[in-house]
Structure formats: C-alpha cells, structure tokens
Homo-oligomer: A and B are copies of this chain.
C-alpha cells in the first residue's frame, strides 16, 4: 500500500531531513530587523530550491510590498479530490537577549534529543514537516492523494502586513477547500491538540516626549513632567487592579464562552502546576471570572511587550529623560475588530495624556481572531492523522497565539482551517528555542496520514 511505503520513507530518512533542516535554520531570517533583510530573502530562496527538489510545480517567489510569498503547487489529484493550501512562515523572531542562549541561535545543535535554534519550532520545522511528507509520497508513489498548494509567508513575525492584499489579489491562484497550518503548540507530547480558534492581535507603540533633551534631575526635577513617569502612568492605566483590561469598550464585542466550550477547554490536560513549571511565575494572574487556561486562549488581553526611557545602564544617572515609550500588543477574540480596538486604545491614551507631555501612538499591525467549525471534514482528517501518526487521540482546543492570515484565508477563500501543531511551547519567542527530534518524525508521519485521510474526508462528526 502506498501509504505504508510513504510512512516508511519518512521514518528511514530522518537523518537526511535533520541535516537539510539545519541548513534552513542557519539562515537568520529575522523579519523585524531591517539588517536581516538579505537573510529573509535567502530563506525564501532556500524554500524555493527545496520545493523544486521535492517535485512541486509552479515554484515561484511572488513579490509583495514586503518580503516575497513562496508559492508552489501540485494539482494532479483530479477534480474530485480536495485542494489543500499549506501555510507556513519562513521568517523568525529576534534573538534578544542573546546572552541567555546556551548555544548561538543560528548554529543548530542537538542536545538531549532536542534541536536548538531560533525559529525551529516557530515555524521552520513545522512547515518543513509538511514538505517532507509531500516528498515521501511523491518519491514513493509518484503522486499525492489530494491537490496541494503551498503559501509560505516571510512576514508573519511582523504581522503579515502584505499577505492579506496578496491573498485578495490572488484568490484564484490560492483557491482551496481547506487551509492547513502546523504552528502553535500542543501542551503535552503525548496529547496532541487541534486548535479551532486563534486570537487576533493588535500591536502598537506609544512614544512620550517631554523636554528637548535629557535634563539634570537636580536642576529641573520637580518642575518637568518626566516622560518615563508619564509612560508608566499610561501603561498602568491600561488594566484594572484585578487584571481586567481598562480600555473603554474593549470587551463590548466579546461573546460569553458557552458551557460546551468551557467543557472542551477544561478537558485540555494543562494543569496550573505545568503552567508554573513552564513560566516560573510566582502565581497566576488575570481576569478573576475565568480559568487561567481560558485567559490564555479564549479571552482578549493587553500586554506590555517593552517599556523604555532614560538610563538603564550600570550605576545611576540622575536625569529626566527626554523621551520614553512602550510597545503594547493586544490579543483579540472573535467578533472583536482589530481596527476598532486599535482606535479605542489610541483614544484612551489620548484621554490619559496630560498637557505636560506629548504622546504619539502608532499602530504597527492588526489582525482579527479566527474561529472555524470544530466538526469540519479537515479537522476530522487531522483527528485521524494524529491517531495513526502520533498514536494518540487529540483534543480540541483554542490557541492563544495569532496567525493573522488564517482569518483572511477563511474570509477571502471561504476555506475552513485546520491547525495541527507538531511542537510544544519549545521556548518559541524566547531564548533557547528548540524542537524535539521525536516530534520531527511524528510530525512528518502525521502529515502523511493527514493528506491521505483528507482525500476520503467525510462530513460526519465523529467526536463532537
């Protein structure tokens, strides 16, 4: 049987796959830092070469206003077979604080069964697993059970600002019955989860300016509103003391969680003690009316990603800084409109700004949340794929993170999404990002099963 041969191919080529993946991981494709732009382009080129080698067709880099989209397809499964669009992103997060890395972030190294490198879990190894699954099927059977389109993004870590216009302009090219994405994280290695929802995100920067230069705090202290104090006052006002977001109107469009959903999320095997081990935080925090897991996945949030102003070096420097700032991101849930939320925050910051300083708010990115019916044929296929390939029955969950483009695909292509993560938390966005080698093999095998089950997907709901 073709399926078994493909699975055997996947299992016996792990060493080759690892070597190949390491080449990809050596490219520091950090999209938010302009000096890494050539590296981002190199990662796109690497993918293009890899897709050609696998045997995909129409392999191309399509220009956008930012980094190129890498596209490829294989459309010979016949008109009755479903078409699946595989989404992934070849850009990675910055590496700071660099000193916290045990090994250099762009020198992939295996320690204790884990492959360490920036971007390995988020998202290179995960979309690489789909490519290797396609390779396994094409190399062994010479064909795929479904039609496949590849759409790899180079700007996910900066909010994919150019991907929605790209999708809008290329709806025929990208038309598909399902969108599959392996990103995000399962909570336990032996307990996969399929996410039927992702949060949206709005990222903004607040810049407070006061005096025309850093002032001597002895000479001027007491007479000048300190921008570092002003930014602290603004940031502190964004939450009520109990953890609720204080931006007026923030929760207006947020739906109540249904008892069914709360039950589903309750079943996810993620305990407070696991949360404490992972985070090292002293105690959980946040909206009192929800469980910590609901707050992480199903509730909107407002986070300070960075705050700065004045002297942060060794010793002290008695100044009133000329300026200060903060970077804020908000995670949104379904029905919250990213533009509206950005506007609400901007207005609120305006209300909080005293006449003694000047505040500028810049919206850097915005994307709505995404939710898909959790009984779709695509999710069913993923369910069976994990049972066969991961040898564990998955649970349904929500993902707390954001893949802005997922909502766009659903809206513009009418394609429900399937989020099937192959990674764990894996220190994504943190120093020492890694990926379990066992997950590399299991992910590729699970992907092979996914494409096979998708070919025979039925609409009955076997698990809800």
Q: Would A221 and B307 count as touching, CB distance under 8 A? A: no
List residues of chain B with CB within 8 A of the CB of A199. 218
- Does B281 contact A219, Cβ atoms closer than 8 Å? no
A305 in contact with B279 (CB, 8 Å): no
Q: Which residues of B contact A158 (CB under 8 A)?
A: 315-316
Find chain B residues with CB under 8 A from A243 CB. 225
Given A96-B313, A218-B201, A355 contacting B213 (CB threshold 8 A): no
**Chain B contacts of A295 at CB under 8 A?**
222-223
Residue A141 at the B interface, CB < 8 A? no
Of the candidates B303, B317, B355, B365, the one whose C-beta lies within 8 Å of that of A283 is B355
Q: Which single member of B275, B287, B300, B316 contacts A327 (CB below 8 Å)?
A: B316
Of A203-211, A410-418, A451-459, the one with at least 4 CB within 8 A of chain B: A203-211
Q: Are A307 and B425 in contact, CB atoms less than 8 angstroms apart?
A: no
In whole Å, how far is A284's beta carbon from the nearest beta carbon of chain B?
Answer: 5
**Which of A199, A287, A305 has the largest number of chain B CB atoms within 10 A?**
A305
Asked if A217 is at the interface (CB within 8 A of a chain B CB), the reply is yes
**By the criterion CB–CB under 8 Å, are A222 and B304 in contact?**
no
Write out, one digit per residue, whether chain A residues 28-71 have a CB within 8 A of any chain B CB (1) or not (0): 00011110000000000000000000000000000000000000
Determine if A316 and B32 form an interchain contact, defined as CB atoms under 8 angstroms apart: yes
> Do B225 and A285 touch across chains, with their CB atoms under 8 A apart?
yes
A395 at interface, CB cutoff 8 A: no
Q: Report which A residues bind B (CB closer than 8 A).
A: 31-34, 93-94, 96-97, 100, 122, 158-159, 184-185, 199, 201, 203, 205, 210-226, 228-229, 231-233, 235-239, 243, 275, 279-287, 292-293, 295-296, 299-301, 303-321, 324-327, 329, 331, 354-358, 364-365, 399-402, 425, 427-432
Please, could you name 21 A-B residue pairs with CB atoms under 8 Å apart, sorted by A?
A32-B313, A32-B314, A32-B315, A94-B313, A159-B316, A201-B218, A214-B430, A218-B401, A219-B296, A221-B303, A222-B301, A225-B281, A229-B304, A232-B304, A236-B236, A281-B357, A305-B316, A305-B319, A305-B321, A307-B324, A311-B327
Q: A219-B296, A222-B331 are in contact. List 8 more A-B contacts (CB 8 A).
A: A94-B313, A159-B316, A214-B429, A223-B275, A223-B295, A228-B235, A228-B326, A306-B321
